[in-house]
Amino acid sequence: MSKFLKFECDLENFIAALKSLLAKNSSSVEELLAQESKSYSSFVKPMQIMEERLEHFFTPLSHLNAVNNSEATQAVYSESLPIITEYSTKLSQNIEIYKVYKTILESEQESLNYEQLRVLELNIKHFEQSGAHLDDATKKRLEEINIRLSELSNNFSQNLLNATNEFEYLITDEADIEGLPESEIASAKQEDAEGNISYKFTLQMPSYIAYMTYGKNAEIREILYKAYTTRAPENGAIIEEILALKDEMSKLLGYKNYVAYSLSSKMAEDEQSVLSFLQNLLKNSKTQAQKELEELQAIAPQALRSFDTAFYAEVLKKEQYEIDEEEYRPYFEQRSVLNGMFTFLERLFGIRFVKAEEQLWDAKAFAYDVYLEDKLRARVLFDLEARESKRGGAWMHNWQSHHRDAAGEEQLASAFVVCNFPPSSETSPSLLRHDDVVTLFHEMGHTIHHILSTVDENEVSGVNGVEWDAVEFPSQFLENFAYEPEVLKMFASHHQTGETLPDSMIEKLVKSKNFLSAMGMLRQLEFSLFDMQVHNGVYTQEEVQTILDKIREDSSLVQTPSYNKFQNGFAHIFAGGYAAGYYSYKWAEVLSADAFYAVIDEGVFDSKTAKRYLKIVLNGGGAKSMSRLFKELMGREPNTDQLLRLNGIK
Ligand SMILES: [Zn+2]
């Protein structure tokens, strides 16, 4: 029998089957709780396996809804969501389960292995972070806070959206649109009833970015910039309320402030370690950022202002760094890239990809089995080409997780890799941009992190249980190799002439990647520092502004106009999931750059660090904290210098 699930999704009977599975699960929970004596093996293990089975059943539907979207998948998917939510909410509020976990953790502390301990610890933390274990009055207040917070974040986005949509600027003088790409001009162009032509620019993407990047007229750029950075002033009051409520919530849950609450489930230890991490990057990027700014300044007729930088950056890029994607495409034929990546992974880690004959959801989708030392380890299901029914973007979606079942039988992992590469046809191959190659490596980095895990407990196997600020480490690690000449030359050859991608073209890729990288770094650090500092207490609107101004003294090389209220549009942290977590982007990049250069410096295919990376990080999954795994891998704490090196910052 196959070790892997067969891909199938019976839309017609899905809801009925889901309901019956959940009903069965719910009664299993009752039975498990009713047992007289409960242990890890008689309680935690079956609970975990139950969740794994649910993933097995549900994942094909969410996958299908994303890659073969239709009215039918949408209908079934949206009908299933509230059913699943109701089930998981009930589970996460079942305080009896929490109590059993606590008892088992205490009584079996000595006999359980670290994987099992981590399963218990994560589950217990999950309960405690929701406050399910607290008294009724506190729970009630937490619930009120949560409801209000979700209203506030919704209002924040809505205000921003309204302000974005309200504004438009009409250009009537053709001279003002000179230099914009044809496609942007075409989408801006409009004609009124009298046949007058004008060009409409708005604060929506990509219209706003287009004028800021290509628009010659600085006065118009300033008008747009001012409109953009003064959107939704009413969000200032919302920020005040959000900060107060988040602080209250964190204290009710037993944390010093919201930063402490957020970091308690992340890899980063505490506020101070994140702040000094960010400050250190800032200090080391500043000199180069200054030089980059001087380079920009040299081509500008007057002192650069906030609304000039994107424009002159584009001018400079065109002159010196721009790469023509069309020139590169013939070297990146999809199948050669994929096979080349397989060969690279085989040489780096000893894993082998063997085509598997499987009927999948689309004729273009295909499966590979993955072997390590001739032992079958996992399956990957690829769906790489764009089509109308597929959601945009690229992602890895885990399906089965490696574990041992209740009988001690080993179960293997599987995952989907989805991209939106140009479709191939019988007469023309799918030719990729270099960015696409990077994307494929990135998603493959997530994939091998999931499927090569040797952990026996599914809830902490592969990407399960990995801290939020560390999940991008394995993907970025692998992605970095897509810029390495030695790796690129394994597959980048012209699909017609067979010529290998020349060194000069590879060099250009790296240069263009690092174009104005220190200035970009400063900007990201400004956002991250602001996010950390604004979430460590309760602040008024004026205080929020003071915090931001203070950070900018250090991070902003061009004076920001005082009307700029960037914070009122920072939806990532005030309306999304990044509160006290925006630093994660840079955090994971540091880990990945550090491990990457250890491999490069040892010689890619002779690298001992690469072998250890397989054993420690990939096999280790989420069963240990990433900070422990990283220390085991490198024998030390992460070193930010390697990220600077990766960005070409000296
Ligand atoms: Zn990713």
Which 3-state string (H, E, C) describes 552-606? Answer: HHHHCCCCCCCCCCHHHHCHHHHCCCCCCCCCHHHHHHHHHHHHHHHHHHHCHHH
Q: How far is the CA of 584 from the centre of ligand 1 (A)?
A: 12
Tell me: pLDDT of 483 over 50: yes
In angstroms, rounded to a whole number, what is the distance separating the alpha carbons of residues 444 and 111?
A: 36
Phi, psi of 501 (to 5 degrees): -55, 120
1 pLDDT band (50/70/90 cuts)? very low
- Predicted local distance difference test score (pLDDT) of residue 650: 84
Closest CA to 643 of 265, 288, 273: 288
Q: How far is the CA of 436 from the centre of ligand 1 (A)?
A: 13
The DSSP bridge pattern shows strands 375-385 and 413-421 to be parallel
What is the DSSP code string of 306-326? Answer: TTTHHHHHHHHHHHHT---HH
In angstroms, rounded to a whole number, what is the distance separating the alpha carbons of residues 637 and 267?
A: 12
Q: How far is the CA of 92 from the centre of ligand 1 (A)?
A: 27
In angstroms, rounded to a whole number, what is the distance separating the alpha carbons of residues 16 and 22?
A: 10
Selecting among 184, 271, 443, 526, the annotated active-site residue is 443
Average pLDDT, stretch 117-132? 96
Question: pLDDT digit string (tens) for 407-451?
Answer: 999 999 999 999 999 999 988 999 999 999 999 999 999 999 999
Average pLDDT, stretch 512-539? 97
- Predicted local distance difference test score (pLDDT) of residue 2: 64
Beta-strand (E) ranges in 30-88? none
- Predicted local distance difference test score (pLDDT) of residue 206: 87
Q: How far is the CA of 602 from the centre of ligand 1 (A)?
A: 26
- Predicted local distance difference test score (pLDDT) of residue 323: 86
C-beta separation of 361 from 397 below 8 A: no
Residues near ion ligand 1 (CB < 5 Å) are 475
Q: How far is the CA of 572 from the centre of ligand 1 (A)?
A: 17
Q: How far is the CA of 29 from the centre of ligand 1 (A)?
A: 34
Q: How far is the CA of 536 from the centre of ligand 1 (A)?
A: 28
Measure the N-to-C terminal CA separation of the chain; round to a whole number of Å: 56
Torsion from C-alpha of 381, 387, 390, 394, nearest 10 degrees: 60
Tell me: pLDDT of 87 over 60: yes
C-beta separation of 258 from 580 below 8 A: yes
Question: pLDDT digit string (tens) for 615-649?
Answer: 999 999 999 999 999 999 999 999 999 999 999 99
Q: How far is the CA of 56 from the centre of ligand 1 (A)?
A: 22
In angstroms, rounded to a whole number, what is the distance separating the alpha carbons of residues 602 and 214?
A: 43
Question: pLDDT digit string (tens) for 196-233?
Answer: 999 999 999 889 999 999 999 999 999 999 999 999 99
Tell me: pLDDT of 602 over 80: yes
**What are the tokens at 248?**
């209250």
The share of the chain scoring above pLDDT 90, in percent, equals 96
- Whole-number average pLDDT of the chain: 96
Q: Please give the single-letter amino acid code of residue 192.
A: D
Q: How far is the CA of 446 from the centre of ligand 1 (A)?
A: 7
Length of the chain as a residue count: 650
Q: How far is the CA of 115 from the centre of ligand 1 (A)?
A: 25
The contacts found for 364-371 with CB under 8 angstroms, 24 or more apart, are: 364/423, 364/424, 365/67, 368/342, 370/451, 370/452
Residue 305: strand, helix, or coil = coil
Closest CA to 176 of 199, 208, 196, 204: 199
- Predicted local distance difference test score (pLDDT) of residue 505: 95
Average pLDDT, stretch 21-41? 97
Q: How far is the CA of 511 from the centre of ligand 1 (A)?
A: 23
C-beta separation of 462 from 402 below 8 A: yes
How much is the pTM? 0.93
In the annotation, is 86 catalytic?
A: no
Average pLDDT, stretch 497-505? 95
